[in-house]
């Protein structure tokens, strides 16, 4: 199996990505394609005494880089960037899955435009697993600000299949994030979606879920639009950061408190993880015809290594095939619009999902 | 000054409300009107040995009760309920402010329909203060699922004036909750609102704020729609609950950990408050022509007493008058539609804000 690694993606690239690649190559039965400026990668490996086993790690040259500030469509403009070259490599069969810690918007747009969605899926979604009482998959975590009831039903399907196949959860409970549990709660969009999901046999729908209940394990898959999902994700991260800064400060107060800190250090570390979505590795972009995983921008070598293992499991799990087969049983499918790469709405979309309500701009393909 | 108390509102009514009333009457220079079934109130006070000083506490008879499950419009149907009688008392000048721990939807609808909004305000909003790095007022916390840019600008004004007058914060920083800080982020609604707020001189607008930054004190007033606000409020509560249950369990593990728990107990209590929106008392329903405060459904006597003090400060602060005067300088005002109590949209609205995008169903009055 070949995993493609965007060597220049993330705040700690290329060093941590290269380190992670070397670790993954030595630990797992996998080949890696490290994509980036050959000279930079080789120099960085040399300077830091990292051994890149040529029998398992191939460097693919890509001189250009997409920064965290670049707009989503830079993935099409910067054709020689490590991310675009990686995506084209994956689309062309030069690898089984791709991992990047780079620009999320660009990666999402590129996955949809270059690797393309599975036929029948109208939008791809970024999925994040929270290590709450039980692992809880949140989607969409930020890609699609504007969605339709059909989109949300497809997110429910994507999330269910991912939790079944990759986290091996039987009949994952799907909840719809809402401001109350009754079926008539929330916006018209949510009322319609609730009605559709209630009739959706492939889905184990447990109804509307309030935000308060999610950390206590109210569902395995939490379905919402990309705006609300983004608020949910970032508020959890923010409250976690705030809290653990406070705890640290607290323990530095005096000798006794430092002592007590030592006593329960391990427990705190375990607890901290409940706020850390990177616990379960990176965020898969679901609905794409091949596995694309976005790892945290601040990923270190260990997180990169874990993301590679996650990519391997993702490929082995057969999620993509299962999704392609399940979509037939989904809510009434709609004729797919194949947009040329140059049409306005498409270009507008990638910069702002809100401008396109029917299709996330990428094309689809049968697999 | 007379504060009206809904004796039957909340999970711990009437006992805790009566207790809280007795405490407030003895501590503050204020008269109270305790509204509920006279016999029930007197019996409860007697059984529990609570002294109700007749010189400061008057019981107003209201035989009926609005339960937590009743729909918002029950406030109009149950004319003899403690909540409806309280609201009519306030509207008729029988008190300066009202406090209830009862059904939020009913209280919000009743405040708008019976006490009425301040002239010029198109919707009232439920405001919640979070004790983050600095007190942060979130509005709307759950009343209006669907809002317009004008509504959000008026929420910004309400929140600013409340923070200036009641929490004495100079030029409170107003942030718009969004999925990114750039002006073009989020839905069309948010892009328009950002443009309006940027031109709104009365408001100290600091731009879009990401959820991650809020706990670190990114703004003093956080403006959002009632759906997103509800998710924000309940996720904060849920994560707080989860965390402190975990911490408790952690410390029960062994003797050493129990010892260390004792050491930092006070600090933990202080930290716990950062997740507890009731720290700053109840949630004022802003935009209403007289102070109406919703306290937590689980309020105990102490919280009821604090809410009475908060009501006194609210009345003294002159927030309502300042709002009535400031609204002139607000975004272009719109002709007010005075709906009769029987019109369909109004009735639909109170059950589901989403069905009415222009007016929250209540009437307005000059003050």
Domain of residue B161, CATH code: 3.40.718.10
The 10s digit of each residue's pLDDT in A323-337 is 999 887 544 333 333
Q: Closest CB to A184: pick one of B133, B210, B352.
A: B352
Residues A138, A98, single domain; the answer is no
A195 touches chain B (CB under 8 A): no
Number of H helices, E strands in chain B: 12, 14
Is the model's pLDDT at A27 over the cut of 90? yes
Instruction: Measure in Å the smallest separation between the Cα of A354 and chain B Cα atoms.
Output: 6
B321 touches chain A (CB under 8 A): no
> What share of chain A has pLDDT > 90, as a percent?
74
Do residue B239 and residue A213 have CB atoms under 8 angstroms apart?
no
Is the model's pLDDT at B340 over the cut of 60? no
Q: Closest CB to A212: pick one of B212, B238, B257.
A: B238
Instruction: Measure in Å the smallest separation between the Cα of A100 and chain B Cα atoms.
Output: 21
A133 touches chain B (CB under 8 A): yes
CA B160/CA A250 separation, integer angstroms: 33
Q: How confident is the model at residue B344 (pLDDT cuts 50, 70, 90)?
A: very low
CA A85/CA A90 separation, integer angstroms: 9
Which residue would you say has higher pLDDT here, A90 or A280?
A90
CA B248/CA A184 separation, integer angstroms: 37
Q: How confident is the model at residue B358 (pLDDT cuts 50, 70, 90)?
A: very low
Tokens describing residue B346: 């109004």
A258 touches chain B (CB under 8 A): no
Using an 8 Å CB-CB cutoff, list chain B residues near A212. 234-235, 237-238, 241
Tokens describing residue A183: 């079926």
The 10s digit of each residue's pLDDT in A98-108 is 999 999 999 99
Domain at A294, CATH number: 3.40.50.10950
Residues A55, A145, single domain; the answer is no
DSSP state of A289: S
Instruction: Write down the residue that tokens 């979505």 correspond to.
Output: A277
Residues A169, A274, single domain; the answer is yes
Predicted pLDDT at B280: 73
Q: Are B352 and B146 in contact (CB under 8 A)?
A: no
Query: Which residues of chain A from 226 to 255 reach within 8 Å of chain B, CB to CB?
Result: 226-228, 230-243, 246-247, 250-251, 253
Q: Are B327 and B202 in contact (CB under 8 A)?
A: no
Predicted pLDDT at A273: 72
Q: CA-based Rg of chain A, rounded to a whole angstrom?
A: 21
Predicted pLDDT at A109: 96
Choose, out of A183, A215, A270, the residue to mutate when testing the contact with B (most B CBs < 10 Å): A215
The Cβ of residue B50 has, within 10 Å, a number of other Cβ atoms equal to: 17
Residues A180, A254, single domain; the answer is yes
Number of H helices, E strands in chain A: 12, 14
Predicted pLDDT at A343: 30
Helix (H, G, I), strand (E, B) or coil at B50: coil
B316: domain range? 1-121+287-367
Q: Closest CB to A352: pick one of B184, B210, B240.
A: B184
Which residue would you say has higher pLDDT here, B242 or A293?
A293
Range name among A23-27, A171-175, A274-278, B289-293 with the lowest pLDDT average: A274-278
Residue of B nearest to A230 (CA): B179
Residue of A nearest to B261 (CA): A260
CB pairs under 8 A between A and B: 154
Q: What is the mean pLDDT of residues A155-167?
A: 97
**Could you give the number of structural domains in chain A?**
2
Instruction: Measure in Å the smallest separation between the Cα of B250 and chain A Cα atoms.
Output: 7
Residues B328, B367, single domain; the answer is yes
The 10s digit of each residue's pLDDT in B175-226 is 999 999 999 999 999 999 999 999 999 999 999 999 999 999 999 999 999 9
Residues B188, B144, single domain; the answer is yes
The 10s digit of each residue's pLDDT in B150-177 is 999 999 999 999 999 999 999 999 999 9
Instruction: Write down the residue that tokens 């530095």 correspond to.
Output: A252
CB-based contacts of A25, cutoff 8 Å, min separation 6: A31, A32, A52, A53, A56, A57
Residue where a domain stops, chosen among A231, A251, A280: A280
Residues B267, B326, single domain; the answer is no
Predicted pLDDT at A360: 56
Angle between helices B255-272 and A226-251 (to 10 degrees): 120
Residues A132, A263, single domain; the answer is yes
ipTM of the complex: 0.86
Predicted pLDDT at B249: 76
Predicted pLDDT at B264: 66
Tokens describing residue B172: 């409170």
Residue where a domain stops, chosen among B239, B261, B280: B280
Q: What is the mean pLDDT of residues B321-340?
A: 59
Using an 8 Å CB-CB cutoff, list chain A residues near B351. 184
Do residue A214 and residue B231 have CB atoms under 8 angstroms apart?
no
Residues A132, A269, single domain; the answer is yes
pTM of the model: 0.87
Query: Which residues of chain A from 259 to 278 reach within 8 Å of chain B, CB to CB?
Result: 259-261, 263-264, 267-268, 271, 274-275
Residue of B nearest to A266 (CA): B250
Which residue would you say has higher pLDDT here, B250 or A233?
A233
Using an 8 Å CB-CB cutoff, list chain B residues near A132. 242
Q: Please state the three-class secondary structure of A202-233 as a single string.
A: CCEEEEEECHHHHHHCCCCEEECCHHHHHHHH
Range name among A76-90, A279-293, B157-171, B246-260 with the lowest pLDDT average: B246-260
Residues B111, B166, single domain; the answer is no
Do residue B239 and residue A241 have CB atoms under 8 angstroms apart?
no
The 10s digit of each residue's pLDDT in A197-212 is 999 999 999 999 999 9
Residue where a domain stops, chosen among A248, A280, A312: A280
**Over the range A281-297, which residues count as b (16 or more CB within 10 Å of their CB) and which as e?**
bbbbbbbbbbbbbbbbb
Helix (H, G, I), strand (E, B) or coil at B53: coil
Q: What is the mean pLDDT of residues B69-93?
A: 96
The bridge status of strand A125-126 relative to strand A283-286 is antiparallel
Residue of A nearest to B357 (CA): A187
The bridge status of strand A292-294 relative to strand A97-100 is parallel
The 10s digit of each residue's pLDDT in A213-269 is 999 999 999 999 999 999 999 999 999 888 878 777 777 766 666 666 666 677 777
CA A158/CA A164 separation, integer angstroms: 10
Instruction: Measure in Å the smallest separation between the Cα of A311 and chain B Cα atoms.
Output: 27
The 10s digit of each residue's pLDDT in B95-120 is 999 999 999 999 999 999 999 999 99
Residues A168, A62, single domain; the answer is no
Is the model's pLDDT at A345 over the cut of 70? no
Residues B233, B248, single domain; the answer is yes
Predicted pLDDT at B360: 56
């Amino acid at each position: 199996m070949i995993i493609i690694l965007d060597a220049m993606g993330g705040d700690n690239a290329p060093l941590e990505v290269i380190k992670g690649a070397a670790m993954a190559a030595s630990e797992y039965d996998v080949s890696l394609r490290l994509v980036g400026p050959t000279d930079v990668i080789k120099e960085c490996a040399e300077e830091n005494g990292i051994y890149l086993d040529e029998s398992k790690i191939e460097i693919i040259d890509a001189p250009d880089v997409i920064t965290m500030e670049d707009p989503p469509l830079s993935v099409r403009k910067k054709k020689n960037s490590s991310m675009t070259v990686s995506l084209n490599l994956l689309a062309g069969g030069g690898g089984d899955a791709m991992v990047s810690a780079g620009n999320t918007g660009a990666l999402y747009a590129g996955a949809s435009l270059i690797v393309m969605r599975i036929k029948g899926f109208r939008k791809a979604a970024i999925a994040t697993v929270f290590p709450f009482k039980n692992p809880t998959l949140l989607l969409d975590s930020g890609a699609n600000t504007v969605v339709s009831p059909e989109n949300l039903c497809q997110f429910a399907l994507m999330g269910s299949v991912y939790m079944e196949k990759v986290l091996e959860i039987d009949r994952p409970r799907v909840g719809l994030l809402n401001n109350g549990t009754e079926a008539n709660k929330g916006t018209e969009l949510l009322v319609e979606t609730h009605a559709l999901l209630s009739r959706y046999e492939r889905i184990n729908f447990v109804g509307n879920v309030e935000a308060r209940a999610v950390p206590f394990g109210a569902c395995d898959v939490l379905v919402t639009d990309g705006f609300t999902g983004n608020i949910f994700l970032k508020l959890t991260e923010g409250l976690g950061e705030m809290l653990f800064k406070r705890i640290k400060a607290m323990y530095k107060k005096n000798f006794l408190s430092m002592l007590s800190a030592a006593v329960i250090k391990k427990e705190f570390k375990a607890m901290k993880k409940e706020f850390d979505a990177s616990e379960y590795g990176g965020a898969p972009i679901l609905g794409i015809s091949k596995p694309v995983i976005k790892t945290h921008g601040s990923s270190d070598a260990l997180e990169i290594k874990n993301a590679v293992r996650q990519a391997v499991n993702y490929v082995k799990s057969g999620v993509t095939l299962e999704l392609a087969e399940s979509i037939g049983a989904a809510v009434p499918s709609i004729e797919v619009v194949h947009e040329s790469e140059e049409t306005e709405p498409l270009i507008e979309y990638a910069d702002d999902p809100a401008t396109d309500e029917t299709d996330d701009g990428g094309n689809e393909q049968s697999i």
